[in-house]
Amino acid sequence: MAWGVEAKFGVVQGDRVFALKGSVFDRFEPGDELGPLQEQKLLAPMLPSKVVALGLNYANHAREMNLPIPAEPILFLKPFTSLVGPGDKILYPEMSKRVDYEAELAVVIKLPARQVPVERAHEFILGYTCLNDVTARDLQAKDGQWTRAKSFDTFCPVGPWIETELDPGNLRVRALLNDQVVQDSTTSQLIFKVPEIVSFVSRVMTLLPGDIIATGTPPGVGPMQKGDRIVIEVEGIGRLENTVA
């Protein structure tokens, strides 16, 4: 997200970017060329009304934490003001002593969604992107709930773009901290699969076009320090890179 700049939706084709014709929620038809991809400043690819996130949604992460498999998805919210894009800085809050990375596959909604059956969930999905559910872990433990720990400005890097043609069933999800792999799993380990998640959330709250659902993080979450570089990779989408400041 960026304030006070001209932002446009675009379509990436190879190493070129084209302005989007029509609505982002209708079709991805390229218009006038904007220039080479490397010359564009990529923002968070969507500005949602809300980011809905799942806790403890990887079976191997539950085993890592010695926690039981949840009977239903565990939901929490991140405000849209926490969004930043590729290359933006994650700001370390003064009130926290431990800030963690969490690599996630994110779902982007394209239609108003309420009471969606599981078998129709795909009709409401625009595409997928990478997300880092940055968390002030010490404040999460201190508060006993997650709002403050998950909600600081810059605590939701998203990008680099939305991939519209992707099967989310078995994608590799990784986090690399200063080029060292610290998380490495696949979405086959998701306890609640993408269609179940979209359906469940839509039975709790109405999802609006552009809303983002973060599907949970695999094992290996850990702390970041000021000056660190964190990369979130999702197979079939790309790399989301940010630094901590």
Peptide bond into 70 cis (omega under 30): no
> How many structural domains are present in the chain?
2
One domain for residues 135 and 20? no
pLDDT given for residue 66 in this prediction? 87
Q: Are residues 84 and 106 in the same domain?
A: yes
pLDDT at site 65: 81
pLDDT at 15 > cutoff 60? yes
24 and 46 belong to one structural domain: no
Whether residue 28 is found in the same domain as residue 136: no
What is the C-alpha separation between 139 and 147, in angstroms, rounded?
Answer: 9
- The whole-number pLDDT of residue 1 equals 45
Beta bridge partners of 125: 109
What's the pLDDT band for 5 if we cut at 50, 70, 90?
low
pLDDT band at 4 (very low <50, low <70, confident <90, very high): low
pLDDT at 74: 96
* pLDDT, tens digit, 9 for 90 and up, residues 220-241: 999 999 999 999 999 999 999 9
Tell whether 68 and 95 lie within a shared domain: yes
Render pLDDT for 94-142 as a digit per residue (tens, 0 to 9).
999 999 999 999 999 999 999 999 999 999 999 999 999 999 999 999 9
| 42 and 160 Cβ atoms separated by less than 8 Å | yes
Q: What is the pLDDT of residue 244?
A: 98
- CB half-sphere exposure, 7, CA atoms < 13 A: 14
Distance CA 241, CA 132 (A): 10
Can you give the pLDDT at residue 63? Answer: 87
Rounded Cα distance, 134 and 102, in Å: 6
pTM over the 0.75 mark? yes
Give the per-residue pLDDT at 62: 85
Q: What percent of the chain is modeled with pLDDT above 90? A: 88
Same domain, 168 and 187: yes
What is the rounded distance in angstroms from the CA atom of residue 226 to the CA atom of residue 96?
A: 12
How far, CA to CA in Å, does 217 sit from each of 70, 107, 144, 151, 180?
A: 14, 13, 20, 17, 17
CA distances to 141, 164, 234 from 187, in Å: 27, 17, 10
What's the CA angle centered on 175, arms 85 and 10, to 5 degrees? 30
Alpha helices in 34-165 (DSSP H): 59-64, 137-143, 147-151
Q: Are residues 140 and 23 in the same domain?
A: no
Does residue 74 share a domain with residue 32?
Answer: no
Q: What is the mean pLDDT of residues 63-80?
A: 93
pLDDT digits (tens, 9 = 90+) for 139-178: 999 999 999 999 999 999 999 999 999 999 999 999 999 9
Q: Is 23 helix (H, G, I), strand (E, B) or coil?
A: coil
Identify the band that residue 22 occupies on the pLDDT scale cut at 50, 70 and 90.
confident
Give the domain extent around 26.
Answer: 1-41
Does 209 share its domain with 180? yes
Judgement on whether residues 135 and 237 belong to the same structural domain of the protein = yes
> Do residues 101 and 17 share a domain?
no
Residues 17 and 32 in one domain: yes
Cβ pair 224, 244 in contact under 8 A: yes
Q: Which residue has the tokens 């446009």?
A: 8
CATH of the domain at 181: 3.90.850.10
